[in-house]
């Protein structure tokens, strides 16, 4: 019996680890979040029945352990150095000249890596198991934060038995070194198990813990919905999170990790830094994909110039480029000063800040009725875009900044799409002769005139009118967003008109729109109107958790929605749940339970639910399908005549695999499946450079050869 459970546990852990890597390291998930949760739930269920079978590397151990009261200290065997900064191309050339002197005629290359704006940590492994995670601290002594590190899914809990080497690393040459008996020169690593360092006692991996901009924005949005203060930037939130004593909270924050340094028993094991990066990748760590070998300083400078712009499009913050001498023998020769290595340097980008004037402060009303003050700025160029507005978040923030209308301010872009005001340039008041005006929160909603209140203890002021148009517009955009019902065609402009023309008066109203309604809108042609209707129709089949997310209940984001969908299995059961029943669910606290209960108690909301039901929107949790979601998030268009399936069959096959079928080709289309006699859609796909699949390729993708 126990043997049989053991086997199932092993299989589950393997499967979960595989999907973790697909998701967190390769960014190419194969299954939906829902299916992933099912695997985790099964694992937890089995482990709670058989606690003796819990292993330290089980994925269940990533959810956080018991809170601690303080962190132990750890003295590094090999100091965690910081980097000297350079700010100009001349500085970089000067550093290269110093390297040339130190290299005494030996040639070298560089590795240029993005400088990730997070906090550095060290992860230590013994017998392949993660045994310790330590923050950099002062470089000599750091805090032991193992439980926190364990929650980061891009840090393996166990190193694989046999590394999966990419083809490009075939030519890695391992240092022949007496202190590392296992590392003879190895030509083909792919099948060579001896490369796995069984004789090494401790493997140490260093790198940067960071938070993606997407996670950062989500957390700030949640803070805002809870009426709490926002976090300043992803780096502060990541480093604050790493210092939390309760790793269960850390687990909810979705930290990520890029590795860039490797030691076997305190020594660098390879001839080049690049090889260490390849080893790390093969061992299952996340290594930044933009790292590059540069043959000379000109190539380094080119890399730095290119990334000054390109970094604006990444989903994490970078504050520069780190340049390292690739040859380890030279690194060891160059050595370090007390603080910095001589073989590496940071090239820092100037902060993405700009000075401009606040001409007015306007108010935006959100989906929950929150009133957000927005600074209207004299347009200024910042991080590659012209900025003319900045969020001021709430009244307290304006007081904290000491901001008045007419002030000059410093705006900054960091993690947010909309930049924020970081400080008032008080000196400029004097320079420009002050003509300033105080800001005060309006007593009435600027959109509907409803009463505005600021609940005691909250930072946010809200419009109290349930049928405020601004709330409805935001609610519709949220309902149709990617995390919810995925009605991409429902843009801001259309929502504006639908609400203003009273064509939609609540969320469910979308399902009662007719073609003629849409055609009456400005700048909506027949094609896009039909597309929108098709998408609305398809959204009826979304998963229950996506529908719950879409309802926009306060405190219920994507994650909580999944918990609720998994627990109740149908919307009708959730509607009937009492407050107690809700608080009994793990992960649903009092505040959330009350918000859910209150939402479903409102007559107007019940009416929305009825209308959604009558329209045929799915209220049930799908039983987990066995088909892998290989097309998750992908958009298809079918055109021409298919021979081996009908259109409907093809559509079903795509949708079962998580994809979506649209009626017309646009920039967002991922694949066009073209049968015989395909016409204009095929042509359009060709001009847009979209991948075109003929029927046999499509069958291959479906694994139906
Ligand atoms: S190498 C001895 N590589 O920048 C070399 N550091 O300002 C030590 N950082 O403390 C660091 N990205 O926290 C290195 N690709 C990268 C990095 C990186 C970010 C951080 C790290 C370091 C700080 C120095």
Cα distances (Å, whole numbers) of residue 312 to 238, 275, 416: 19, 29, 11
Q: Of 606, 625, 644, which residue constitutes the final position of a domain?
A: 625
We report the CATH number of the domain holding residue 120 as 3.30.470.30
Residue 451: what pLDDT? Answer: 95
pLDDT at 273 over 60: yes
DSSP 3-state of 106: coil
**Cβ distance 660 to 695 under 8 Å?**
no
pLDDT at 412 over 60: yes
**Cβ distance 279 to 104 under 8 Å?**
no
Q: What is the CA radius of gyration of the chain?
A: 28
pLDDT digit string, tens, across residues 368-377:
888 999 999 9
Q: Are residues 112 and 124 in the same domain?
A: yes
Q: Which atom of ligand 1 is nearest to the CA of 340?
A: 2
Length in residues, the chain? 705
CA of 195 to the centre of ligand 1 (A): 27
Instruction: Kindly report the backbone phi and psi dihedral angles of residue 261, in degrees, each rounded to the nearest multiple of 5, phi listed first.
Output: -155, 140
User: Given pLDDT bands bounded at 50, 70 and 90, which one contains residue 185?
Assistant: very low
Domain coverage including residue 552: 544-625
Nearest-CA neighbor of 13 among 35, 44, 34?
44
Instruction: Kindly report the backbone phi and psi dihedral angles of residue 702, in degrees, each rounded to the nearest multiple of 5, phi listed first.
Output: -80, -5
**Choice from 82, 83, 291 to test ligand 1 binding pocket (greatest atom count within 8 A of CB):** 83
User: Given pLDDT bands bounded at 50, 70 and 90, which one contains residue 179?
Assistant: very low
* 115 catalytic residue (yes or no): yes
Q: Are residues 529 and 549 in the same domain?
A: no
Nearest-CA neighbor of 30 among 46, 19, 21?
19
pLDDT at 1 over 70: no
Q: Of 61, 96, 112, which residue constitutes the final position of a domain?
A: 61
CA of 103 to the centre of ligand 1 (A): 23
Region 679-692: what's the mean pLDDT? 86
User: Cβ neighbours of residue 416 under 8 Å, at least 6 residues apart?
Assistant: 213, 216, 217, 220, 391
We report the CATH number of the domain holding residue 45 as 1.10.287.610
**For the stretch 287-302, what's the b/e string if a residue is b when 16 or more beta carbons lie within 10 angstroms of its beta carbon?**
bbebbbebeebeebbe
Higher pLDDT, residue 149 or 655: 149
Q: Quick one: tokens of 54?
A: 């819990």
Residue identifier of the C-alpha nearest atom 7 of ligand 1: 83
Asked whether residue 75 is assigned to any structural domain, the reply reads no
Q: Are residues 526 and 590 in the same domain?
A: no
pLDDT at 268 over 80: yes
Q: Are residues 615 and 633 in the same domain?
A: no
Residue 186: what pLDDT? Answer: 33
Residue identifier of the C-alpha nearest atom 22 of ligand 1: 82
Asked whether residue 611 is assigned to any structural domain, the reply reads yes
**Cβ distance 343 to 108 under 8 Å?**
no
Region 472-489: what's the mean pLDDT? 93
Region 202-213: what's the mean pLDDT? 96
Asked whether residue 249 is assigned to any structural domain, the reply reads yes
CA of 206 to the centre of ligand 1 (A): 9
pLDDT digit string, tens, across residues 332-364:
999 999 889 999 999 999 888 999 999 999 999
> Which string of DSSP letters, residue by residue, matches 628-647?
--TTTT-EEEEESB-SSS-H
Query: pLDDT > 70: what percent of the chain?
Result: 92
pLDDT at 183 over 80: no
pLDDT at 170 over 60: no
CA of 83 to the centre of ligand 1 (A): 7
| Counted domains in the chain | 6
Residue 3: what pLDDT? Answer: 84
Residue 198: what pLDDT? Answer: 59
Residue identifier of the C-alpha nearest atom 9 of ligand 1: 115
Q: Residue 515 belongs to what H/E stretch? A: helix 515-519
Higher pLDDT, residue 403 or 225: 403
Residue 166: what pLDDT? Answer: 41
Higher pLDDT, residue 69 or 503: 503
Q: Are residues 163 and 288 in the same domain?
A: yes
Lowest mean pLDDT among 22-26, 82-86, 402-406, 610-614: 22-26
Q: Which atom of ligand 1 is nearest to the CA of 261?
A: 1
pLDDT digit string, tens, across residues 301-326:
999 999 998 998 899 999 999 999 99
Question: What is the DSSP pairing of strand 452-453 with strand 420-424?
Answer: unpaired
Region 482-490: what's the mean pLDDT? 91
Residue 124: what pLDDT? Answer: 97
The CA distance from 288 to 430, in Å, is: 47
The CA distance from 85 to 91, in Å, is: 9
pLDDT at 328 over 60: yes
CA torsion sign for 598, 604, 607, 608 is negative
> Which string of DSSP letters, residue by residue, matches 293-346?
EESSHHHHHHHHHHHHHHGGGSSS-EEEEEEEESBHHHHHHH-B-SSSBSSEEE
Q: Which atom of ligand 1 is nearest to the CA of 136?
A: 10
Percent composition of the chain: helix, strand, coil (DSSP 3-state, to 5) = 40, 20, 40
Residue identifier of the C-alpha nearest atom 10 of ligand 1: 82
Asked whether residue 79 is assigned to any structural domain, the reply reads no
User: Cβ neighbours of residue 42 under 8 Å, at least 6 residues apart?
Assistant: 12
Query: pLDDT > 90: what percent of the chain?
Result: 55
User: Given pLDDT bands bounded at 50, 70 and 90, which one contains residue 625?
Assistant: low
pLDDT at 169 over 50: no
Asked whether residue 145 is assigned to any structural domain, the reply reads yes
SS3 for 222-291 is HHHHCCCCCCCCHHHHHHHHHCCCCHHHHHHCCCEEEEEEEEECCECCECEHHHHHHHHHHCCCCCCCCC
Q: Of 304, 326, 348, which residue constitutes the final position of a domain?
A: 348
Q: Are residues 119 and 243 in the same domain?
A: yes
Residue 79: what pLDDT? Answer: 93
Average confidence score pLDDT of the chain = 87
> Which string of DSSP letters, residue by residue, matches 123-184?
EEEETTEEEEEEE-TTSSEEEB-HHHHHT-TTS-SB--SS----GGGGG--B---TT-TT--
pLDDT at 62 over 50: yes
Cα distances (Å, whole numbers) of residue 133 to 117, 155, 227: 19, 10, 34
Asked whether residue 457 is assigned to any structural domain, the reply reads no
User: Cβ neighbours of residue 56 under 8 Å, at least 6 residues apart?
Assistant: 129, 130, 157
Nearest-CA neighbor of 417 among 684, 237, 166, 217?
217
User: Given pLDDT bands bounded at 50, 70 and 90, which one contains residue 163?
Assistant: low
Q: Are residues 507 and 565 in the same domain?
A: no
CA of 115 to the centre of ligand 1 (A): 6
Region 233-252: what's the mean pLDDT? 90
Q: Are residues 180 and 318 in the same domain?
A: yes
Region 393-417: what's the mean pLDDT? 90
Higher pLDDT, residue 497 or 62: 497
Q: Are residues 7 and 148 in the same domain?
A: no
Which residue reads 């364990």 in tokens? 150
Q: Which residues pair with 321 in a beta bridge?
A: 114, 347
Asked whether residue 566 is assigned to any structural domain, the reply reads yes
We report the CATH number of the domain holding residue 642 as 3.40.50.10190
The CA distance from 247 to 241, in Å, is: 9
Q: Are residues 531 and 386 in the same domain?
A: no
Residue 224: what pLDDT? Answer: 74
pLDDT digit string, tens, across residues 553-573:
988 988 789 889 888 989 999
pLDDT at 537 over 70: yes
We report the CATH number of the domain holding residue 514 as 1.10.150.20
Residues with CB under 6 Å of ligand 1 are: 81-83, 113, 115-116, 120, 208, 260, 322, 341, 344, 346
Higher pLDDT, residue 66 or 487: 487
Q: Are residues 188 and 214 in the same domain?
A: yes
Asked whether residue 452 is assigned to any structural domain, the reply reads no
Residue 378: what pLDDT? Answer: 96
Q: Are residues 212 and 107 in the same domain?
A: yes
Cα distances (Å, whole numbers) of residue 523 to 263, 490, 529: 61, 13, 10
* The one catalytic residue among 115, 413, 420, 560: 115
User: Given pLDDT bands bounded at 50, 70 and 90, which one contains residue 162?
Assistant: low
């Amino acid at each position: 019996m126990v043997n049989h459970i053991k086997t199932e546990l092993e299989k589950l852990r393997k499967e979960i680890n595989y999907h973790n890597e697909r998701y967190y390291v390769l960014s190419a998930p194969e299954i939906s979040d829902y299916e992933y949760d099912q695997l985790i739930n099964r694992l937890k269920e089995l482990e709670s029945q058989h606690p003796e079978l819990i292993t330290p590397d089980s994925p269940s151990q990533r959810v956080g352990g018991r809170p601690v009261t303080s962190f132990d200290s750890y003295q590094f065997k090999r100091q965690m150095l910081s980097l000297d900064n350079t700010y100009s191309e001349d500085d970089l050339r000067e550093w290269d000249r110093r390297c040339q002197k130190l290299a005494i005629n030996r040639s070298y290359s560089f590795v240029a890596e993005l400088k990730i704006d997070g906090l550095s940590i060290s992860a230590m492994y013994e017998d392949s198991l993660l045994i310790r995670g330590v923050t950099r601290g002062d470089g000599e002594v750091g805090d032991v934060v193992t439980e926190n590190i364990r929650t980061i899914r891009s840090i393996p809990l166990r190193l694989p038995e046999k590394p999966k080497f990419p083809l490009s690393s075939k030519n890695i040459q391992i240092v022949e070194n007496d202190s590392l008996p296992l590392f003879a020169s190895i030509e083909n690593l792919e099948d060579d198990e001896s490369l796995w360092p069984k004789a090494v006692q401790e493997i140490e991996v260093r790198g940067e813990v960071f938070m993606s901009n997407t996670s950062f924005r989500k957390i700030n949005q949640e803070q805002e919905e809870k009426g709490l203060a926002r976090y300043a930037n992803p780096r502060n939130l990541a480093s604050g999170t790493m210092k939390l004593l309760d790793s269960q909270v850390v687990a909810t924050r979705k930290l990520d990790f890029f590795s860039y340094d490797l030691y076997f028993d305190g020594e660098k094991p390879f001839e080049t830094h690049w090889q260490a990066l390849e080893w790390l990748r093969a061992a299952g760590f996340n290594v930044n994909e933009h790292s590059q070998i540069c043959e000379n300083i000109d190539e380094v400078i080119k890399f730095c110039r290119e990334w000054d712009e390109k970094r604006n499009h990444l989903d994490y913050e970078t504050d520069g480029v780190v340049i390292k001498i690739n040859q380890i023998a030279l690194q060891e020769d160059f050595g370090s000063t007390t603080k910095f290595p001589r073989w590496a340097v940071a090239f820092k980008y100037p902060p993405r800040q700009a000075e401009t004037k606040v001409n007015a402060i306007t108010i935006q009303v959100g989906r929950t009725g929150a009133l957000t003050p927005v600074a209207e700025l004299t347009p200024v160029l910042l991080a590659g875009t012209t900025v003319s507005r900045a969020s001021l978040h709430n009244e307290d923030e304006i007081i904290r900044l000491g901001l008045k209308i007419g002030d000059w301010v410093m705006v900054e872009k960091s993690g947010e799409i909309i930049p924020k005001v970081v400080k008032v340039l008080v000196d400029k008041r004097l320079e420009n002769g002050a003509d300033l005006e105080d800001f005060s929160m309006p007593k009435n909603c600027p959109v509907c005139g409803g009463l505005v209140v600021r609940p005691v203890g909250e930072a946010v002021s809200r419009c109290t009118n349930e049928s405020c148009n601004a709330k409805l517009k935001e609610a519709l955009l949220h309902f149709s967003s990617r995390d919810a019902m995925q009605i991409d065609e429902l843009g801001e402009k259309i929502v504006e008109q639908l609400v203003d023309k009273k064509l939609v008066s609540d969320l469910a109203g979308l399902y009662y729109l007719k073609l003629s309604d849409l055609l009456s809108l400005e700048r909506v042609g027949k094609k896009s109107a039909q597309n929108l209707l098709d998408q609305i129709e398809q959204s009826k089949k979304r998963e229950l958790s996506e529908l719950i997310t879409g309802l926009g209940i306060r405190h219920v984001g994507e994650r909580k929605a999944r918990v609720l969908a998994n627990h109740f299995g149908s919307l009708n059961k959730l509607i009937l749940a009492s407050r107690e029943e809700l608080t009994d669910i793990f992960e649903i606290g009092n505040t959330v339970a009350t918000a859910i209960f209150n939402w479903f108690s409102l007559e107007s909301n019940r009416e929305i639910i009825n209308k959604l039901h009558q329209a045929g929107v799915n209220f049930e949790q799908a039983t987990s399908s066995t088909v892998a979601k290989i097309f998750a998030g992908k958009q298809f268009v079918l055109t021409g005549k298919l021979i081996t399936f009908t259109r409907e069959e093809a559509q079903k096959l795509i949708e079962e695999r998580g994809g979506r079928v649209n009626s017309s080709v646009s920039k967002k289309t991922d694949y066009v499946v073209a049968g015989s006699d395909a016409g204009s859609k095929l042509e359009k796909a060709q001009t847009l450079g979209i991948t075109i699949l003929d029927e046999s390729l499509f069958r291959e993708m479906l694994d139906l050869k």
